[in-house]
Amino acid sequence: MGRYIIRRLLQSIPVLLGATLLIFSIVFALPGDPIAALAGEKRADPNIVAILREQYHLNDPLLLQYWHYISGVLFRGDFGVTFADVPVSQIMAGKFQVTINLAVTALIIEAVIGVGLGLWAALRRGKATDTMILASTLLLISVPTLVSGFILQYMLGVKLKQWTGVDIFPIAGISNGLRSYLLPGFVLAGVSIAYLTRLTRTSLAETLRADFIRTATAKGLPRRRVVGRHALRNALIPLITFLGADLGNLMGGAVITERIFNLPGVGLQLFDSVYLREQPMVVGIVTVLVLIYIVANLAVDVMYAVLDPRIRYE
């Protein structure tokens, strides 16, 4: 197992290098001078532009620029500075904190609600409850985050507060600490909740029909134990895969949610940085995102082995 994990981590090095070089060249290839972009609509002073280009190595060829950048990251752990002279790592630390809080909140919400509802539906298959759950997941899937976000923000954040005077769901920013993430977390989790519910329902329903469940029931085990220990544990494997992959999606897909709820996270930063051609910022964020994907996938694979002893890697 240990060897497997080390091998997987080593494999991630070329993946990281490849990804960063690719992103670096893409940002490099975008039209528009990053220094001119800083000046907005006024024509930047050509004199100043020249000095700044020199200062940020923008006149060097792509590969040399990449080398400047990646050697800093690899040997000094230095992600460079933005065009406003702020260290990229300082900005990233703050933004990733927010996005991770948001993504983990969303993940927990979707795991609890999604698995819970799926379980409930599977156990009452064909009954009214089941139909209702299926119908509501369909609704969740079909409403885009943008819409649900604004509606929930307005109804729960603005109207509810105006009517009751109680401030339960802060609607913007992170200044309310943990509560700040509840509503955005729910909105971000929305679509995944629906998928997870359906996945759980199908997976569990299938397992419940398996021979070993009939055996377990036949030998007189209480229903709770049959479902909890035998069925659910087996049904969990596809769910774990889904959740693992979804953590990455949630982090990347947080752009819209972060915008609606004014969370200063990584998604928004990435958007702005691409817009301003901030190569070090863009590449830095993408590097960390790739790392998170790799680690999340690794964690999923390890969980497999724990859940199902038949699946063991060597």
Partner 1 sequence: MRVTKGAQIVAGTALLALAVAACGGGASDTGGTATGGGSAETPVRMELGEPQELLVPSNTTESEGAETLAALFEPLVNYDENKNAVEAAAESITSDDQKVWTIKLKSGYTWHNGEPLIAQNYVDAWNYAANQENAQSAGYFFGRIDGFADLNPGEGKTVTTKTMKGLEAVDDTTLKVTLAAPFSQFKVMLGYTAFYPLPKAAFGPDGKVTQAYGEQPIGQGLFKMDKAYKKGTDQTIDMTVYDKYPGTKPKGWTKLQFKLYTDSDVAFNDLQANNLDIHDSLSPAAISTAKSTLGERYQDQPDAGVGYIGVPLKYNPELDKVDIRKAISMAIDRKTIAETVFSGTRAPADDFINPAIAGYRQGACKACTYNPAEAKKLYDAAGGPKTLELGYNADGGHKEWMEAVANNLRQNLGIEATAKPFEKFAAILDELDKKTYKGLFRMGWAIDYPSAENYLSPIFSTGAIATGSNYGGYSNKKFDDLISKGDQAATVEEGLKFYQQADDILNEELPYIPVYFYRNNSGYSTSVKNVKINLLNQIEWAEVEKV
Q: Say which residue the tokens 């985050």 belong to.
A: 145
**List of residues 6+ apart from 76 with CB closer than 8 A:** none
Helix/strand/coil (H, E, C) string of 192-254?
HHHHHHHHHHHHHHHHHCCHHHHHHHHCCCCHHHHHHHHHHHHHHHHHHHHHHHHHHHHHHCH
CB of 265 to partner 1, least distance (A): 10
> How many angstroms separate the CA atoms of 68 and 60, rounded?
10
CB of 311 to partner 1, least distance (A): 28
CB of 212 to partner 1, least distance (A): 27
> How many angstroms separate the CA atoms of 40 and 144, rounded?
32
CB 253 within 8 A of CB 208: no
13/112 with CB nearer partner 1: 112
> How many angstroms separate the CA atoms of 145 and 15, rounded?
31
CB of 110 to partner 1, least distance (A): 9
Q: How far is CA 165 from CA 151, 162, 169, 170, 248, in A?
A: 19, 5, 12, 12, 37
175/218 with CB nearer partner 1: 175
Task: Find the Cα–Cα–Cα–Cα dihedral 295, 144, 254, 191, rounded to 10°.
Answer: -30
128/218 with CB nearer partner 1: 128
CB of 213 to partner 1, least distance (A): 23
CB of 108 to partner 1, least distance (A): 5
102/216 with CB nearer partner 1: 102
72/264 with CB nearer partner 1: 264
CB 203 within 8 A of CB 235: yes
3-state secondary structure of 278: coil
39/63 with CB nearer partner 1: 39
CB of 216 to partner 1, least distance (A): 24
62/112 with CB nearer partner 1: 112
